[in-house]
Amino acid sequence: MLLVEDDSELVELLSGALRDEGYAVDVAEDGQRGLHLGLTRPYDVVIIDRGLPALDGLDLLVRLRSRAVRARALLLTALGTVHDRVDGLDAGADDYLVKPFDLDELSARLRALCRRALELTDVLEIGAGHLDVGQREAVLPQGERVPLSAREFALLRVLATHPDRVHTRASLRRTVFDDASGSSIVDTYVYYLRTKLGRSVVRTVQGLGYRLGAL
């Protein structure tokens, strides 16, 4: 996740809260730095303050979209008129939040954007096999198709979307299960995936969490 915000106190508050929720967060305190990071690093979501030094938030978003950056974008602003919101959405924002805002609302909007970010790809590689997003099936190297339940599919899709990332249980519980289930829910569904697809499909990173393995 990329946070582009010039208010140092708000940066400290938001970056700390987001990291506590399990997000990996990069911070840029002006539009030019945000543009550089947005063009050179992959993000699921970018949070952009509209009133930035060096490069305005709307201009930053327009430039990212013109370079085919597909990360979901949430605009933060003190400007809350209908015209302002329309300008933000027309510039390429996926959502718009007016300051001051509640952290719980921000977290809920980010969860929704993260879910939508996962919908951009139809096929995700898993070693020599792949995940068929449209059919919600795992396809083994020899071509056999294995149907997955909704939650099995959602968990495997998150892992396969970021194959090099170590996902904590807390981040997976938040992203896949919306924190609605007990603390063991992630381990339970990892077990289900391994039972269906083999133990190597999900790797355990001791003391940290899970990452994608191979079919």
> Which pLDDT score, from 0 to 100, does residue 27 have?
95
Same domain, yes or no: 58 and 87: yes
> Which pLDDT score, from 0 to 100, does residue 21 have?
82
Same domain, yes or no: 7 and 113: yes
Amino acid at 114: C
Same domain, yes or no: 20 and 104: yes
Q: Which residues contact 69 (CB under 8 A, 6 or more apart)?
A: 38, 39, 46
Alpha-carbon dihedral of residues 53, 56, 57, 61, nearest 10 degrees? -130
DSSP helix/strand/coil, 212: strand
> Which pLDDT score, from 0 to 100, does residue 150 have?
83
The Cα 38–Cα 201 span in angstroms is 31
Same domain, yes or no: 108 and 147: no
Q: Which residue has the tokens 């007016």?
A: 98
Domain extent, residue 11, equals 2-117
Pairing mode of beta strands 209-212, 26-28: unpaired
How many separate domains does the chain show? 2
> Which pLDDT score, from 0 to 100, does residue 214 have?
92
> Which pLDDT score, from 0 to 100, does residue 181 have?
63
Count Cβ atoms within 10 A of the Cβ of residue 100 and give its class: 0-12 exposed, 13-18 middle, 19 or more buried: exposed
pTM of structure? 0.60
Q: Which residues of the chain have pLDDT under 70?
A: 117-121, 178-181
> Which pLDDT score, from 0 to 100, does residue 49 have?
93
> Which pLDDT score, from 0 to 100, does residue 30 have?
94
Q: Which residues contact 37 (CB under 8 A, 6 or more apart)?
A: 2, 26, 28
Same domain, yes or no: 134 and 86: no
What angle, 0 to 180 degrees and rounded to 10, lies between the N-to-C axes of helices 57-66 and 82-90?
Answer: 30
Q: Residue 188 maps to which CATH number?
A: 1.10.10.10
Structure-token pair, residue 164: 């090099």
> Which pLDDT score, from 0 to 100, does residue 140 have?
93
Same domain, yes or no: 97 and 138: no
DSSP helix/strand/coil, 88: helix
Same domain, yes or no: 94 and 181: no
Same domain, yes or no: 31 and 108: yes
Pairing mode of beta strands 45-49, 26-28: unpaired
Structure-token pair, residue 98: 């007016």
